[in-house]
Amino acid sequence: MSAAGSEPILTLEPLIEAVRRGVEGQRWQLSGLQKTTSHEFEGRWEGESTRSSYLFFHAETDFEDASIDVYLDETSRGLTGNLALVVDLVPLAGLGSAERVLRVLGALSDVSLPAGYARPITLRMRLKDGREEPGLAQTEVRFKIQIPRATIARGASAVMDLAARCVESFDAILRAPELLAMLRPD
């Protein structure tokens, strides 16, 4: 990486590139990229605009039920973003209690993801139709790492390093017996 790799990232495009290089360096391929611009005309941020980007990655091998989703945002307050491991799980009836599942996933996050970062977990349940049997609800877990503004300020090299470490951690989660027990059988 050039000397520019340690200069603060100030706009969305270099942030996208740094994250992409960090993730792709860990054998995940870009599946999709979406950029949006939003303008707030009423409310708290009246007159401000936001540029956002969504990046989607899939593994070159294995991990059929998983993806890495990245959300990056550029506002007048600066750049923010997060990386998320998204995994489809067995239907709700096969998971057991949400409390137990979140406890297991939280412990897995704690031992697998890098310390010192905000690491939210989301457990989603979806019914295709409100009349469907609740036990058939599709389930998904998202393990997230928020990219600190301080990392972005340290430049592309720091962002690439964080993205690569996140992917290594995500790969460890995908191989963990606790998660494998919650995946759909092949």
Spatial distance between the Cα atoms of 34 and 180, rounded to a whole number of angstroms? 30
Helix H or strand E encompassing 59? strand 49-59
Spatial distance between the Cα atoms of 68 and 45, rounded to a whole number of angstroms? 30
Q: Is 36 helix (H, G, I), strand (E, B) or coil?
A: strand
Max CA distance (Å), the chain = 58
Domain-located, residue 60: yes
Q: Is 50 helix (H, G, I), strand (E, B) or coil?
A: strand
Domain-located, residue 185: no
Domain-located, residue 73: yes
For tokens 């990046």, name the residue: 55
Q: What is the pLDDT confidence band of residue 2, given thresholds at 50, 70 and 90? A: very low
The number of distinct structural domains making up the chain is 1
Whether the predicted pLDDT of 186 surpasses 70 = no
Domain-located, residue 21: yes
pLDDT in tens, 101-153: 999 999 999 999 998 988 999 999 999 999 999 999 999 999 999 999 999 99
Domain-located, residue 74: yes
Domain-located, residue 27: yes
Whether the predicted pLDDT of 97 surpasses 70 = yes
pLDDT in tens, 155-173: 999 999 999 999 999 999 9
Per-residue pLDDT, 30: 96
Domain-located, residue 59: yes
The domain in which residue 170 lies consists of 3-180
The pTM of the full predicted model, rounded to 2 decimals, is: 0.89
Domain-located, residue 186: no
DSSP letter, residue 114: P
